[in-house]
A = this chain, B = another copy of it.
Amino acid sequence: MAEKKIPYKIYLEEKELPKQWYNVRADMKNKPAPLLNPATLEPMQFEDLRPVFCDELVKQELDDTTPYFDIPKEILDFYKMYRPSPLVRAYFLEEALDTPAKIYYKFEGNNTSGSHKLNSAIAQAYYAKKQGLKGVTTETGAGQWGTALSMACAFFDLDCQVYMVKVSYEQKPFRREVMRTYGGTVTPSPSNKTEVGRKILKEFPGTTGSLGCAISEAVEAATTQEGYRYVLGSVLSQVLLHQTVIGLETKTALEKYGIKPDIIIGCAGGGSNLGGLISPFMGEKLRGEQDYRIIAVEPASCPSFTRGKFVYDFCDTGNVCPLAKMYTLGNGFIPSANHAGGLRYHGMSSILSQLYHDGLIEATSVEQTEVFEAATKFARVEGILPAPESSHAIKVAMDEALKCKETGEEKTIVFGLTGTGYFDMVAYEKFNDGVMSDHIPTDEELKKGFATIPNIPGLNQ
């Protein structure tokens, strides 16, 4: 290869790091629908939410007009330990695909949590500490969020109680051990520690748990212990706000080299990484300053955008959380047992749901075998072993680059590489052994999920 004008990795300088998060809701004409109190169907107010979340986070959650929030100095200092994350020019992938497209990825995996989750975990832990709390509770599925939160809590000397989906707890003992190393307490969910857990265990004695069920337990644990609050790693608007540090860095890095992306691609589970990556670009799009193609990629086995309904649904299986208007497969939907990676949440961020509903985002779904094929190809040429979640974005980025090869277009593609797959080797092993399978839910299966969407008079009409 000849000498490159644009480096393999663009690292911002410390002084170029964002000092504020960007709240994309401020620029949305059609605001995301508010969270509703399931009893009254009235929008949740500050006082309704503060028993569950820290005060500052409730303010962020409810504020859809303030465009920027200052990042507190303590959080900025922590960010400096692992940020800026590199924006990588995928020269070797371009060469391997023989494409005229220019591919960039924002790599969020260079921290011990292995993903972007730490960006919000440290913010939520900071506000909990500032409020004088003893600790926080949360749920975790694959374990990235629980790890991130344990790290953040260790840093601020907060107690961290993690309810980990039982099947992950058993299959991912190493993730559990990382959390313990950071001082977190990890409980397999459903557990006997909470009322909702005991109820679920009684009803489904052999259950291996679900994210929605772990959320219910964590919320109960937060609201029944003095000095505790609940924190969530995705879906919520506050989380998307914190994750905008990804998109802001990306935009600054691209602008330093005068690069305008044509297509921006991210995987979508609850939506925090995608929302964080695209927010500043979406802001320009909403203000009519610039246009971008934005693609959300979800697993075919958990297709909330592409096959879900845009309605009010509970955020959790136990129905203890507020109702959110979002694309959802129903709070009782559980992806098929052969689904290997994350991105298994039944719903999608209200912000992204509204943007998708308004035609500002595209969505597509991919099957896991093709995702692991893309992941393996990527690993071999770009060195990084990607998380299965991130590999959904890789797959579609590669597809778009190959389309450019056909048309000869030199499009600039940016995708979010949210994390590493070091704790996902059981899934890689299945793929390497040729025993990984795909599952696209049948209409019948989806119907069962949709049946769990609340049928409350006056709602979802």
A residues with a Cβ closer than 8 A to B are 1, 7-9, 11, 13-14, 77-78, 80-82, 88, 91-92, 110-112, 114, 151, 154-155, 173-174, 177-178, 180-183, 376, 379-385, 420, 422-423, 425-426, 428-429, 432
Q: A7-B80, A181-B385, A383-B82 are in contact. Are A422 and B425 (CB under 8 A)?
A: no
Chain B min CB distance to A388 (Å): 12
Contact of A380 among B183, B422, B423, B428 (CB under 8 A): B183
Q: How far is the CA of A260 from the CA of B9 in the complex (A)?
A: 28
A80–B89 Cα distance when bound, in Å, is 11
Give every chain B residue within 8 A of A382 (Cβ-Cβ): 81
Q: Known interface pairs A92-B81, A432-B177. Does A420 touch B112 (Cβ–Cβ under 8 Å)?
A: yes
- In the bound complex, what is the Cα–Cα distance between A420 and B110 (angstroms)? 11
A9–B425 CA distance with the chains assembled, in angstroms: 30
A129 to B429, CA, bound (A): 28
Chain B min CB distance to A13 (Å) = 7
Q: Which residues of B contact A1 (CB under 8 A)?
A: 77
Closest Cβ–Cβ distance, residue A45 to chain B (whole Å): 36
Query: Which of B110, B181, B428 has a CB less than 8 Å from the CB of A376?
Result: B181
Q: How many copies does the complex hold?
A: 2
Residue of B with least CB distance to A174:
B425
Instruction: Please report the C-alpha to C-alpha distance between residue A81 and residue B383 in the assembled complex, in whole angstroms.
Output: 7
Please measure, in the bound complex, the distance between the C-alpha atom of A457 and the C-alpha atom of B381, giving whole angstroms. Answer: 51
Find the residue from A92, A114, A381, A425 having the highest chain B CB count within 10 A.
A425
Instruction: Say how far A225's CB is from chain B's closest CB, in angstroms.
Output: 23
Contact B380 A182 (CB under 8 A): yes
CB pair A425–B112 under 8 Å, yes or no, is: no
Contact A155 B380 (CB under 8 A): yes
Chain B residues, Cβ within 8 Å of A111? 383-384
Q: Which residue of B lies closest to A90 (CB)?
A: B81
Judging by beta carbons under 8 Å apart, are B379 and A182 in contact? yes
Are A154 and B11 in contact, CB atoms less than 8 angstroms apart? no
Which 10 A-B pairs have CB atoms at the shortest separation, nearest pair first? A174-B425, A8-B80, A154-B380, A177-B425, A7-B14, A112-B385, A177-B429, A422-B422, A81-B383, A180-B432
A181 touches B383 (CB 8 A): no
Known: A14-B7, A429-B173. A112 touches B379 (CB 8 A): yes
Q: How far is the CA of A183 from the CA of B151 in the complex (A)?
A: 33
Alpha-carbon separation in the docked complex, A379 to B153 (Å): 12
Indicate if the CB atoms of A425 and B173 lie closer than 8 Å: yes
Q: A174-B422, A177-B428, A425-B174 are in contact. Are A9 and B112 (CB under 8 A)?
A: no
Q: Looking at the complex, which one of B8, B151, B182 makes contact with A14 (CB distance below 8 Å)?
A: B8
Instruction: Give min CB distance, A332 to chain B, whole Å.
Output: 33
Given contacts A1-B77, A77-B91, A151-B380, 17 further A-B contacts (CB under 8 A): A8-B14, A8-B81, A9-B14, A11-B11, A81-B88, A81-B382, A82-B383, A110-B110, A112-B379, A173-B429, A174-B422, A174-B423, A177-B432, A178-B425, A180-B428, A181-B376, A422-B422
A178 CA to B429 CA, complexed, in Å? 9
List 11 interface pairs A-B (beta carbons < 8 Å), by A numbering: A7-B13, A8-B14, A81-B92, A110-B110, A112-B383, A112-B420, A114-B422, A174-B426, A177-B429, A181-B376, A182-B379
